[in-house]
Amino acid sequence: MVAIVDYGVGNLFSLKSSFSYIGEEVVVTSDPETIRNADRVILPGVGAFGDAADKLFGSGLAQLLIDLANEGKPILGICLGMQLLFEKSYEYGEHKGLGLIKGSIKPIADKVSSDYKIPHIGWNALKFTEKKSPLFKYINEGDCVYFVHSFYGADCEASLIATAEYGFDVTAAVSSGNVYGTQFHPEKSGEVGMKILKAFCEI
């Protein structure tokens, strides 16, 4: 069973539907026992990093996720959920993240000229790093996925598994052991996205 962590951030309808679509049993929950008992955990999120981090740490879910990550449970952070896996974020101030992925979250605006519109929104092609991640076993380099974000994962070379070109190589996905993160939304990336979620469910 897949547990989607509900900590009061964003709309989880499509995410839940996408796991049902690929035939996975899925639950949206904030209950620590349910999350602990799940085979896999999804950390979703849209909105501001600071607000989301406060909710995760305030509810105790942050520590639970850190513990589960250390115990080897497969965890996938999506969009802001990926960013929350990092050590810290510089989105409107400085905020502490879960520290499961080495690196920090910085504004795209600092990296690109004003010709590039922000947020980075739309379909963009994936470029894999040297060793193909098991997350991508059903898809090919160059396949497009859907992005919506204004901040990006920086200084995370050791964990980088895919990038997308938007004035520079934007972090598209990361992994460290059993912890995975995608900046893009697999649940909005059509068949390619479903194949990524399916691959995650087989990890």
Partner 1 sequence: MITKRIIPCLDVKDGRVVKGVNFLGLADVSSPTKLAKFYSDNGADELVFYDITASAEGRALFTDILCEVASTIFIPLTVGGGINSVDDFDRVLKCGADKVSVNSGAIRNPDLINAAAQKYGDQCVVLSVDAKRVDGTYHVFAKGGREDTGMDAIEWIKRGQSMGAGEIVLNSIDTDGVKNGFDLEMLGAVCEIATVPVIASGGAGNIDHFTELFNTLPKVDAGLAASIFHFGEVDIHDLKKDLDSSGIIVRL
Q: How far is CA 106 from CA 7, 87, 171, 190, 201, in A?
A: 23, 12, 11, 28, 30
141: contact with partner 1 by CB under 8 A: no
- The residues with which 29 forms a beta bridge, in sequence order, are 5
Output 66 or 112, the one with its CB closest to partner 1: 112
Active-site residue identified among 79, 91, 120, 149: 79
Cis peptide leading into 119, omega within 30 of 0? yes
Assess whether 87 carries a catalytic annotation. no
Give the nearest distance from C-beta 118 to partner 1 in angstroms. 8
- d(C-alpha 76, C-alpha 66), whole Å: 13
Residue 33 structure tokens? 């026992």
Strand-strand pairing, 86-89 and 101-107: parallel
* Size of residue set near partner 1 by CB under 8 A: 30
* Residues numbered 23-62 forming contacts with partner 1, rule: CB under 8 A: 46-47
64 scored as a contact of partner 1 (CB under 8 A): no
Q: By the criterion CB under 8 A, which residues form the site for partner 1?
A: 11, 13-14, 17-18, 20-21, 46-47, 117, 119-125, 144, 146-148, 165-166, 187-191, 193-194
Any idea which residues carry the catalytic annotation? Answer: 79, 185, 187
